[in-house]
Amino acid sequence: MSLRHQSGRAAGATRAAHAAEIILGLAVGLGLMDRPKEALIAFAIAVLLISIALRWALKQEEKR
C-alpha cells in the first residue's frame, strides 16, 4: 500500500519504519568502517524509530 492510500498516522508509522531501515544500513556501514561509537548511536536511533512506528501502528489498530 502506498503512502498516498494510508491515513496520516499510518503513513507516519511507515515513514518512521523506512527511516529506521536507512539508519540501520548506516549503522552497518559505520560498523564495517571500524566506527563502533557512531554505529551504536545510529543503531539506537533506528531502535527508537522502530518503537515509534510500532506505537503508531498499535494506536491505529486500537482505534479500529
Is the C-alpha dihedral spanning 32, 43, 53, 3 positive or negative? negative
**pLDDT for 14:** 82
Enumerate the domain spans of the chain: 3-63
The position carrying cell 551504536 is 40
**pLDDT for 8:** 64
Give this prediction's pTM: 0.71
**pLDDT for 30:** 93
5-61 tens-digit pLDDT: 566 656 777 888 888 899 999 999 999 999 999 999 999 999 998 898 888 888 877
User: Got the DSSP string for 2-40?
Assistant: -GGGS-HHHHHHHHHHHHHHHHHHHHHHHHHTT-HHHHH
Burial of 46 (0-12, 13-18, 19+ CB in 10 A): buried
